Structure 1
Amino acid sequence: MFTCYTKQDRFETYVLTNEDHKINIEVVPERGGIISKYIHNNEPIFYLEQETLEDTSKNIRGGNPILFPISSYLVNETYYYNDIAYQLKQHGFARNLEAKVIHTFADEHCASITLEMVDNEETYERYPFHFKLIMKYSLTKSGLSIQATINNNDNKVMPFYLGYHPYFYVEDKESIEINIPSSNYKEMVPNSVVQDKFNFNQPESTVIYEQLQSNHCEMIDHARQLKVTITSEDVYQYMVLWALQGKSFVCIEPWMAPENGMNVGQGIQYLEASQTHTSTIQITAESLI
């Protein structure tokens, strides 16, 4: 049996869990509707620096931040719409919006929570569209489903490209194997790939993969005998790896568009007035023992 309940930490937190609490997620609506924690069979799947969750002046380092209306960064944090310049910081602003819980559900098979984020005066100055972003998180014994539905509530075509920034907990980086179904990549930080392997032995490494040959990416953690699979729909055309030396995580990030996407015109989704766009990614974890 699955259940959904709330607890009060620094912020109100929704917990979705099964009866023995071996599988659960925690969702913090006030902090960008983020899934802050994900546990599978008592093993942490997501990494979290708790102090960044509690401090609203900081971007959260951990969990699974939502990247909207852009998934990457813009050169000079600037893009143009109808020849007018607008500024958007890296990864957009959804991760800093407060979400409203509109539905929860739990039965013997799964638990889910649905949240809603909408535009406001501040977002409209940087992104001149009225929108609604609905996030539905569903947890089962086999894994986590993350569904985003974007409503264009404006009277003009709305460009966007969504992404996610999951921080996967890793005890020993030397013991993990990452399988990305592409040989086409760009190093966003020099020397991020050494001898065809992602380089954990420098202060920061970042790689963006394109021309994915399938929608399944894997991280095998041999130290913990654990495999994590990220399955995304075809609209997520790019996969990014990011890591910092000395930190117990690696980010494997599904993006719809590459860096500077608004300006280079790649991967952008154009949503007609009053229309909706829905996409889903899934994260599954399984023991290799």
Structure 2
Amino acid sequence: MFTCSTRQDQFQTYVLQNESGQTYIEVVPERGCIISKYVHNAEPIFYLEQETLDDPAKNVRGGNPILFPISSYLVDETYYYNDSAYQLKQHGFARNLAGKVVSTHADEAGASITLEMTHNEETLARYPFHFTLTMKYTLDADGLTVTATVVNQDDKTMPFYLGYHPYFYAPDKNKIELRIPSTAYADLEPNSMTNDRFNFDQTVSNVIYDQLQSNASEMIDHARNLKVTLIADDYYQYIVLWALEGSPFVCIEPWMAPVNGMNVNKGVQLVEAKQAHTSTIHIKVESIRQG
């Protein structure tokens, strides 16, 4: 049996968990509807710096931040729509919006929570569209499913490209194996790849893959005998890796568009007036036994 409950921390937190309490997620609506924690069979899957969650002036470092209406960054933080210039900071603004809970559900098979974020005066100044972003998180014995529905409430076509920034916990990065379904990549930070392997041994490493040959990316944690598989819809044509030296995480980020996507017109999704766009990612966790 799965359950859904709430508790009051710095912010109200929703906890979806199984009967033993060893598999659960925590969701904080006021902090960009983020999944702040994910634990599977008592093993942390997401990393979290709690102090960044507690401080609304900071971007949360950890969990699974939502990147909307853009992922990555724009050159000079600027894009153009109908010959007018607009500014958007890196990864958009969804992670800084307060959301609300629409519904929750729990039964023998799993638990889910549906949340909603929408436009306001501040977002309209930077992104001139009336929208609703609905996030549904479903937890079951197989893993975690994240479904995003972008609704265009406006009377004009709305461009966007979604992404996620999951921080996967990696206590010993020397024993992490990454399997990305592509050999085509570009460094976003110099020397991020050495001999076609991701470089954990510099201050910042950041690389983007395209020409994906499948929908599944894997992190094998040999220290914990775990395999974490991220499966993304076809809309997500890019996988980004990001890591910081000395921090026990690696980010495996599914993006719909590359760097500067709005300006280079790659990966941009166009939602017609009064229509919706839905996409899904799934995170599957398995124990592996090594001989």
TM-score by length of 2: 0.99
Q: CA deviation at 1:104?
A: 0.1
- Give me the whole-angstrom Cα distance separating, in 2, the residues matched to 1:226 and 1:135: 27
The AA in structure 2 aligned to 1:24 is Y
Q: Which residue of 2 aligns with 1:196?
A: 196
Structure 2 CA distance for aligned equivalents of residues 47 and 137 of structure 1:
18
Post-superposition shift, 1:72? Answer: 1.0
Instruction: Output the aligned Cα RMSD.
Output: 0.4
Q: Which residue of 2 aligns with 1:176?
A: 176
Residue 128 in 1 paired to residue 136 in 2?
no
Q: Show CA shifts across 1:148-196 (max 9, x none).
A: 0000000000000000000000011010100000011010000000011
Aligned residue number for residue 280 of structure 2: 280
Equivalent residue of 1:7, what SS? Answer: strand
Deviation at 1:115, TM superposition (A): 0.1
2:56 maps to 1:38: no
SS where residue 61 of structure 1 aligns? coil
- Aligned pair 1:79/2:79, yes or no? yes
Partner residue in 2 for 1:217: 217
Q: Which runs of 5+ in 2 are unaligned?
A: none
Structure 2: how far apart are the matches of 1:56 and 1:26? Answer: 17
| C-alpha separation in 2, matches of 1:119 and 1:265 | 23
Tell me the amino acid that sits aligned with residue 111 of structure 1.
A
Deviations 1:220-240 (A, max 9, x none): 000000000000010000000
Shift of 1:274: 0.2
Partner of 2:53: 53
1:232 and 2:229 matched? no
CA distance in 2, matches of 1:200, 1:76: 29
Aligned residue for 2:262? 262
How far apart are the structure 2 equivalents of 1:195 and 1:39?
33
Q: State whether structure 2 residue 65 is matched by structure 1 residue 65.
A: yes
Report SS of the residue matched to 2:125.
helix
The alpha-carbon deviation at position 22 of structure 1 amounts to 1.1
Q: Which amino acid aligns with 1:133?
A: L
Question: How far apart are the structure 2 equivalents of 1:222 and 1:72?
Answer: 30
Q: Residue 152 of structure 1 aligns with which residue?
A: 152
Per the alignment, in what secondary structure is the counterpart of residue 212 of structure 2?
A: coil
Length-normalised TM-score, structure 1: 1.00
**Structure-2 separation of matches of 1:88 and 1:192:** 26
Tell me the SS of whatever aligns to 2:95: helix
C-alpha displacement of 1:79:
0.3
- In the alignment, residue 129 of structure 2 is paired with which amino acid? F
Classify the secondary structure of the residue corresponding to 1:218: strand
CA distance in 2, matches of 1:149, 1:235: 13
* Number of residue pairs the alignment of both structures matches: 289
Q: Which aligned pairs between 1:238-249 and structure 2 lie closer than 5 A?
A: 238-249=238-249
Q: Distance in 1 between matches of 2:118 and 2:216?
A: 31
